[in-house]
A and B are shown apart, each in its own frame.
Chain A
Amino acid sequence: MLFDDYATDSFFDEMFSADGTVRPHYRVVADGLNGMEGVEYQQKQEAVEMAFMRGGVTFTVYNDTQGTERIFPFDCVPRVISAEEWEVVERGLIQRITALNLFLHDIYHDQKILKDRVIPAAHVLSAKHFRREFMHFQVPKDIYVHICGTDLIRDHAGRYLVLEDNLRCPSGASYMLENRAAIKRAFPEILRQAGVRPVDDYAQALLSAMQHVAPAGYQGKDHPNVVLLTPGVFNSAYFEHAFLARQMGIPIVEGRDLVVRDFAVYMRTTAGLVPVDVIYRRIDDDFLDPSVFRADSLLGVPGLVNAARAGNVTLANSIGTGVADDKLIYYYVSKMIKYYLGEDAILDSVDTYLASEAKDRTYILENLEKLVVKSANEAGGYGMLMGPWASAAEIEEFRTQIVANPRNFIAQPPISLSRHPTWVGEGGGFEGRHIDLRPYILYGDKISVNPGGLTRVALRKGSLVVNSSQGGGSKDTWVLRQPAGPPTAPSV
């Protein structure tokens, strides 16, 4: 049996309890996989990889003149979330996005939360992604964050924690959809028996959210012209951009396809200039409009910000949302929830120490070898010190940087991410690997959380880094329809 030698070690394992029993919501998956031969499973895994290669479900590897494309590594063992757990996660995410959106509106208008000293004003005003140019800017229906991809992790006790909010251009939704399509081919019967909620309507919901914020009137057409703005075919996420545009049936445009005239955006077509109403942009603020932000950006469209300010085009996500991605601001999200909604946060954050606060800084500097230190504005696993695994030289380098620029650093205790059975090849069978979860939240006429998400897995043994740029892969994520039954007798 494939799970005979599986060990949870001392980690929180998603599939198995500490005593080795299968958790109730994993019963169907465990039974289905256990009845399989190693060679049969290996064939399924290879068939899925082949299908990804043939379909071009790949990302481009930078610094490679051959233009090598790789598939995003995929592990066939699905990650299962019970209906009960999901109900809490969903409520928690909706609460969090509601508060973050209110926060963005507040800091770009009256700044009440700063005046009431819930968050020190200096923290917000000094944030790298706070856009002063955007003060008093009216965004349609007061929605700033149309698409959010929150990173969740589970600690040693299985508690869900928010790791990052990702309010700018979160990526990965296409892999969520492709992973499900792959699993439908590989394990149709297990999928059916388990009673899994479908994820496929994500693209339709995304389009509806975009159409919801279209400028009024949109020049008398039946529907607004929504486009997806990509940095171009050489961007590593181009597959995703094309995929989502195709699923929504909207044009994918590059900066050079757009032009701004009389405060309105047009695309250059075979029939001349055609007006654009909503832009789902996959380009960061800095590169969006060289007449306002970075002048050296060749990806952007001069005049775009002006057109948005005039209300002739809507950008999703809005400009300036990155301020809430600042890891210093992250620390205050629970307080925001209390301040704006009068509620306690449903989802916990990771305990965080701010190097900008004298007391915290002392603690951080005294305990660098026990902490994870993060730069306030880096993502993708970069700009990080993993204290317990770092060399003395690395620790000293961070110490110098923290002392020089405390605003730029926070520290957190290392979290022992939950593990999940993951295929390591016919010789090794299943072994535990660390995972996280990125659900996708859309803010349209209401806030909705897609029942699923991208489960990322650190494929290297012992690694805690799930990012695809650093040896991470992904899994399909199953959210169950029905609550699970009582636990069964140990099957291992």
Chain B
Amino acid sequence: MLSRVAASLYWMGRYLERAENIARLLDVNIQLLIDFGSIDDQGVKEHWVPVLRSVGDEEVFFQHYAKADSASVTEFMTFHRQNPNSVFSCVCAARENARQVRDQISFEMWEVLNEVYLFLQASDAQKVWRDGPGAFYDQVKRYSHLFQGLTDATFSRTEGWDFLQFGKYLERADKTTRILDVKYHILLPRATDVGGAIDTAQWQAVLRSTSALEAYRRFYVTEILPKKVAEFLVLSDSFPRSLRYCLAALNDSLGRIGTGQEGGLDGPERSAAGVEFRQLCDELARLSIDDVIARGLHEFLEMAQAVIGRLASHVYETYMHHPPVDMASEIRFHQQEQQQQQQQRS
């Protein structure tokens, strides 16, 4: 498979997953504010800034807006064109990558990406969003789910599949750890809130932001406890958005990328990034949540993100990215070759 194609499939998977995660995050947090009833401007700000931080866009946001409130943050994260992580930008990027590999994906996959793009591009998209953000974000999530279902049903399990899955699970692991990290970070210092109604609502929001609320309830059959939420999202081996599950899926793709072809490159598992990644997978299978908390949940999540990041760079640089050729020297080289040929002939 062309490296450029592999890269497009990878980014397509990543961006659509990102769009879905952001849509869910916004949806959950808008609803959460409704539950809180009346809170002052400062409270609203304290609510939204961590959301911005969880997607890593706090700085970009304040370049464009003076005040963080529901309208400005959701507008920024949904439609803002200068925000590369807005739902709109992510969908455009996913679709643009799909357009570059139209020949490689099924018509059904392309059609869904094109439809969600047209949905967001439509002149009344902002109105639909203002009239009912819930319905709006639901629609975005549905498109993402439709895409995943159609991919599952129509896309061959060849190399392309592995790059697509690799992008998707990488993004998912990143988002789950960030969402968990931010909430853990802001909640613990305020000892008074721990265990209160707001706290439960916040942890419930964490679960809903990762589509995990119902799965959590079925698994634990108990109330929402911060430690168990962390355990579920970090260590569950069955929930498809937990860190451990995402890493297992990445590991699975990794085993197939770059192998089985004559003259092919080495598989990524032999690289330094691959080795430390495998160690992290092993650790997640071995550790208990108490071990993780003892090491500091925040530190642990940060370490995991760094390991995943290094693996992503390694796989990207090795299999998907060819540095562009230096045209000038390439032209000189072939012109010399031609001259030599002509001299031999004459």
Contact = CB atoms under 8 A, between A and B. Distances in A.
B2 A257 contact: yes
Contacts of B111: 54-56
B5 to A, nearest CB: 7
Contacts of B196: none
B334 A271 contact: no
A251 B2 contact: yes
Given A268-B3, A272-B265, A291-B335, A233 B99 contact: yes
B100 A246 contact: no
B261 A271 contact: yes
Interface range, B side: 35 or more
Contacts of A251: 2, 5, 103
A288 interface: no
B265 A271 contact: yes
B189 interface: no
A289 B4 CA distance: 21
Contacts of B132: none
Given A242-B102, A291-B334, A291-B335, A306 B341 contact: yes
Contact of A295 (B102, B114, B115, B331): B331
Contacts of A263: 337
Interface stretch (B63-71, B229-237, B320-328): B320-328
A243 B257 CA distance: 27
B330 interface: yes
B331 A291 contact: yes
Contact of A252 (B103, B264, B335): B103
A245 B103 contact: yes
A56 B100 contact: no
A270 B338 contact: no
Nearest to B110: A56
A274 to B, nearest CB: 9
Give the secondary structure class of A's interface: mixed
B134 interface: no
Contacts of B5: 251
Contacts of A228: 103
Contact of B330 (A53, A254, A257, A302): A302
Contacts of B99: 56, 233, 238, 242
A267 interface: yes
B205 interface: no
Contact of A270 (B114, B319, B334, B335): B319
Interface string A239-264: 10011011000111110110110010
A267 B2 CA distance: 7
Give the secondary structure class of B's interface: helix
B194 interface: no
Contacts of A289: 334
Contacts of B263: 271-273
Contacts of A267: 2
B261 A303 contact: no
B170 interface: no
Contacts of B96: 233
A271 B327 CA distance: 23
B314 to A, nearest CB: 14
Interface in A404-436: none
Most buried by A among B159, B257, B263, B335: B335
Contacts of A292: 338
A53 B121 CA distance: 12
Contacts of B261: 271-272
Interface in B1-45: 1-6
Nearest to B318: A270
Contacts of A233: 96, 99-100
Given A53-B118, A256-B4, A295-B331, A270 B102 contact: no
A251 B320 CA distance: 16
Nearest to A254: B4
B4 A271 contact: no
A246 to B, nearest CB: 4
Nearest to B113: A56
Nearest to B337: A306
Interface string B328-346: 0011011101100100000
Interface in A375-429: none
A290 B100 contact: no
B258 interface: yes
Given A55-B114, A271-B265, A256 B324 contact: yes
A97 B277 CA distance: 61
A269 interface: yes
A271 B325 contact: no
Contacts of B163: 270
Contacts of A243: 102
B103 A269 contact: no
B219 interface: no
B107 interface: yes
Contacts of A245: 102-103
Contacts of B337: 263, 303, 306
Interface string A269-302: 1111100000000000000011110010010001
6 contacts: A55-B107, A55-B110, A55-B111, A242-B102, A270-B265, A272-B265
Of all A-B residue pairs in the complex, the 3 with the closest CB atoms, nearest first, are A242-B102, A271-B261, A303-B334
